[in-house]
């Protein structure tokens, strides 16, 4: 069974060129889809693709020419050229770009043997679900992000017993329960992205399979003002080697 971790934050409205990129933004996911379509543009049926783009983006023009086969044929060709112009201006994918992921997480009861709090966060079989704008990438949560180096052994917050005891006291609510909610902030790069369900010449949107490599994780307080523990995956890999 694969473990699905849901995104904490709501969908952003930030532009693709925002400082911190997050696949939780449909514009970012859509940009990957546009790049895929651009790379294989010559493989599509240009007439069908032109018709889809004409209907989708120039509806009034399509309504004017739809009953005249000569005008509609010219309009399809024109629309396909407009699509080519749009694709020629897209932002290419930077393979070194860092992406950010903020997740709800929880820490468990203190382990006196390891002197740490276990954390429920990403594991080796976890994946994230994302959506696009619906033009090239499906607007449903059908695109998936997998992590090639997720390691649940890092899911803990080391803390000496006296400090841990104080930490728990600060987390005690007026009802006597312990607020164990934290934020797991992951930084990663995307190593590969491919179509899962392919985009078609008739305009049926694609879904994308993303593969990512984690660079670091920060376990933070709910307000994201304090880092409780940080793990550098690069150093972890070097230790394993």
- At 84 the pLDDT is 96
- At 9 the pLDDT is 33
Which residues contact residue 233 at a Cβ distance below 8 angstroms, ignoring those fewer than 6 apart? 149, 151, 154, 213, 214, 215, 216, 217
Of the candidates 216, 221, 210, 225, the residue with the CA atom closest to the CA atom of residue 95: 210
pTM over 0.85: yes
Which residues contact residue 166 at a Cβ distance below 8 angstroms, ignoring those fewer than 6 apart? none
- At 101 the pLDDT is 96
Q: How far is the C-alpha of 107 from the C-alpha of 121, rounded, in Å?
A: 9
Element holding 59 (H helix, E strand)? helix 59-65
- At 19 the pLDDT is 61
- At 57 the pLDDT is 96
**Ordered per-residue pLDDT tens for the chain, 241 residues:** 344 444 333 333 334 444 689 999 999 999 999 999 999 999 999 999 999 999 999 999 999 999 999 999 999 999 999 999 999 999 899 989 999 999 999 999 999 999 999 999 999 899 999 999 999 999 999 999 999 999 999 999 999 999 999 999 999 998 889 999 999 999 999 999 999 999 999 999 999 999 999 999 999 999 999 999 999 998 877 665 5
> So where are the chain's domains?
3-38+97-240
Q: Please, are residues 219 and 105 in contact by the beta-carbon 8 Å criterion?
A: yes
- At 235 the pLDDT is 81
- At 229 the pLDDT is 97
Which residues contact residue 143 at a Cβ distance below 8 angstroms, ignoring those fewer than 6 apart? 29, 129, 130, 131, 132, 137, 196, 207, 208, 209, 210
């Amino acid at each position: 069974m694969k473990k699905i971790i849901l995104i904490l934050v709501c969908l952003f409205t930030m532009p693709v060129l925002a400082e911190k990129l997050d696949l939780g933004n449909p514009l970012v996911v859509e940009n990957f889809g546009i790049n895929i379509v651009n790379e294989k543009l010559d493989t599509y049926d240009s007439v069908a693709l032109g018709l889809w783009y004409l209907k989708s983006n120039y509806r009034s023009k399509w309504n004017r020419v739809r009953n005249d086969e000569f005008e509609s044929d010219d309009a399809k060709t024109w629309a396909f050229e407009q699509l080519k112009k749009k694709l020629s201006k897209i932002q290419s994918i930077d393979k070194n770009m860092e992406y950010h992921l903020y997740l709800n997480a929880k820490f468990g009861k203190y382990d006196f043997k390891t002197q740490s709090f276990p954390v429920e966060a990403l594991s080796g079989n976890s994946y994230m679900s994302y959506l696009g704008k619906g033009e090239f990438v499906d607007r449903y949560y059908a695109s998936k992000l997998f992590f090639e180096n997720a390691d649940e052994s890092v899911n803990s917050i080391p803390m000496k017993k006296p400090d841990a005891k104080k930490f728990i006291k600060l987390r005690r609510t007026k009802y006597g329960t312990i607020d164990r909610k934290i934020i797991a902030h992951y930084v990663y790069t995307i190593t590969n992205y491919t179509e899962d369900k392919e985009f078609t010449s008739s305009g049926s949107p694609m879904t994308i399979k993303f593969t990512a490599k984690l660079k670091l994780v920060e376990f933070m307080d709910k307000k994201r003002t304090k880092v409780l523990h940080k793990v550098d995956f690069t150093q972890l890999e070097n230790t394993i080697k």
